[in-house]
Every structure is written in structure tokens, then in C-alpha cells.
Chain A
Amino acid sequence: MSTRQDAIEDQNRRMLRARDAMDRTYAEPLDIPALARIAHVSESHFIRAFAATFHETPHRYLQRRRVERAMYLLRNTDRPVTEICFQVGFSSLGTFSRTFTAIVGETPTAHRRRGPIAPVPGCFVMAWTRPSATDRTAGSDRAIEQFRISSRPEPRRRFKS
């Protein structure tokens, strides 16, 4: 085992730790100093190292996380778009709509019309329906279609409490 490989693996784990933190607190403002502390690196090194590890900047990753959460809330709740925009961490409706449309390839309202996402554990929804960083429309559309097909509504019944 080379020392260089050790260093890369150690850095991977520290970046993953910071990414987990972003997944937990996505609705809060992007706090590079706090994330850099979690990763035990300087702020400027954090952004570089994160991008080298996951092939996108922390800012971009956070945007995709927020958009994924917005996609979920649009399809699975009837909350107003404005409320969802703020709930996932955007502070302006204009920025939200622009970012959402650029990443997903359709507007929040058009996305809402796709209907509810299939019931699977939340961690998989978060991982699988997050819009692709590279294959923007094709990848997302395939995932969206899969989730839609498998989520045919069932008759409404009450939970046993």
C-alpha cells in the first residue's frame, strides 16, 4: 500500500463525511467553513478536494440535493411551489425555478404533473431520483419514468395504528 493511496482514501472518507453532512442539512445555507471543518481541511482545499473526489463542486452537489428534495415534494405533496422552494433551502423563487428547470429539464409545475413517486425507503429515493450531474435530461427522465410506472395508485386505506 502506497502512502499516496492511503492519502487518497483518507481524503475520500473525509469528503464523504462532509457530503453526508450536506445530505442531512441541505435546507440550510451552504456553509463551506463548517464543511471544511468536518473534512479537516482548509476552506479552499475543501472545494478543490470535493470536486476532485465527486466531480462536482459542493455548491453544485447541494443544488442537486435540494432539487431532488423539491422533485419529491412536488410530486408527493400538494404544497405550493413557493413553500417547497423555501422548504428545500432556496431563498428566492426565481433562483429556484431557474435552477430546477436547468437541472431537471422541465419546470417545477410540469414536474408536479408526473404524479407520486413509488413508496421506497427515503434514502433510496434521495439517491436514485437526484438528477444526474452529467446526463441531464436522459438520465433523469429514465429514472422519473421508472418511478412513475411503478407507482400506480392503490385504493386508499387507513394505516393500522
Chain B
Amino acid sequence: MINSVLQSQIFVLDQDQALDFYVNKLGFEVAEDIDFGFMRWLTVHPAGQPDRKVLLERPGPPALDEQTAAQVRDLLTKGAMGGWLLFTTDDAQATHDELVARGVEIADGPNRQPYGIDFGVRDPFGNRIRIGQLAELSRPLTAEDFAAQS
């Protein structure tokens, strides 16, 4: 049966700008960058994890007609596209500080949560990215844990 997540997809307005953000700011590596002429297949992955790739797709023809692409771009820039990526880190505060130093826009946090420490970032287009340092848990969390936290 199905046994892993291999690739995810998000929309980006500009693939060069996306490359700069995901590689130079977030420290990702390029998995594939293939120019088909009519479209560019661009995937990245966190350093050291080549088996979890993210496709950075530009909305537009031929996959989407111009009008639909415009709607996607509108939703994306309002933060209303589905694109939501959650990444882990060993040290949320250090990662946060490093990203701030690189000029990354922090949407919120770092916040201490029952499941660890996390913070939110927007990519240049409005996609929501969450970066978490996850606590080691011996059991599933309950509402009580969250109540104790707030």
C-alpha cells in the first residue's frame, strides 16, 4: 500500500523568485529544474531530505487558462490558496533568528505550544509555511494540554 509522501505542490508567482527564497533564504536544495519550454518543472527539498520534494508551480497556460491563473494568483496573494507547508527544525529560535537576519518575513511567533515551539512564515507570494521544533511526546496531546498552555 501507500507508504510515504514523496512530492507536494504549491503555486508560486515567479519561479526565479521562488528559487531565491526557498534556496537562498530557507536553505533548501534544488531537486529538479527542467525547462520544457512551455513550462518549467522546478522541485526543491530541505537540505538532506531528497525524498520529500516540493514542486514550485507557476499558475498559467497550458495547465490553466489565463483567467483561471489570474484567479489562482489572486487567492494566492491573499493567503487563501491551500499551499501550506510544515517543516521541522532542531532549534526553532535559532532558525527564526537566522531567517530574520536573511530578511524573511515572519508571520507570527515563535510560540511555545504543547507540541513544541513553532513560528509562521509567508513565502514572497503568500503561501503559509510553518516551522516547528517538535517536543518528544509520550502520548497524544489532549485539550487540557492546550488549556494549560494558553
Contact of B122 among A10, A16, A117 (CB under 8 A): A16
Q: Is the CB of B144 within 8 A of A156?
A: yes
Residues in chain B near residue A116, CB distance under 8 A: 143-144, 146-147
Complex Cα distance, B79 from A19, in Å, reads 10
Complex Cα distance, B143 from A154, in Å, reads 9
Complex Cα distance, B145 from A119, in Å, reads 8
Q: Does A133 contact B (CB under 8 A)?
A: no
Q: How large is the interface on A (under 10, 10 to 19, 20 to 34, 35 or more residues)?
A: 20 to 34
Residues in chain B near residue A77, CB distance under 8 A: 147, 150
Contact of B147 among A19, A76, A159, A160 (CB under 8 A): A76
Complex Cα distance, B125 from A27, in Å, reads 27
Q: Is the CB of B73 within 8 A of A122?
A: no
Q: How large is the interface on B (under 10, 10 to 19, 20 to 34, 35 or more residues)?
A: 35 or more
Q: Is the CB of A16 within 8 A of B79?
A: yes
Given A122-B111, A154-B142, A157-B139, residue A9 in contact with residue B147 (CB < 8 A):
no
**What mask results when residues 118 to 143 of chain A are scored 1 for a CB within 8 Å of chain B, else 0?**
11011100000000000000000000
Chain A contact surface mostly: helix
How far is the CB of A129 from the nearest CB of chain B, in Å?
12
Complex Cα distance, B39 from A14, in Å, reads 28
Complex Cα distance, B142 from A151, in Å, reads 8
Complex Cα distance, B32 from A88, in Å, reads 46
- Across the A-B interface, give the 6 residue pairs with the lowest CB-CB distance, nearest first: A116-B143, A12-B77, A160-B138, A76-B147, A20-B107, A119-B141
**What are 28 sample pairs from A and B whose C-beta atoms fall under 8 A apart?**
A9-B13, A10-B77, A12-B77, A12-B126, A16-B78, A16-B122, A19-B79, A20-B120, A23-B107, A23-B108, A24-B107, A53-B78, A73-B150, A76-B146, A116-B143, A116-B144, A119-B114, A119-B145, A121-B113, A121-B115, A121-B118, A122-B111, A123-B118, A123-B130, A153-B142, A156-B144, A157-B139, A160-B137
Which residues in A have some Cβ–Cβ distance to B below 8 Å? 5, 8-10, 12-13, 15-17, 19-20, 23-24, 53-54, 72-73, 76-77, 116-119, 121-123, 151, 153-154, 156-157, 159-160
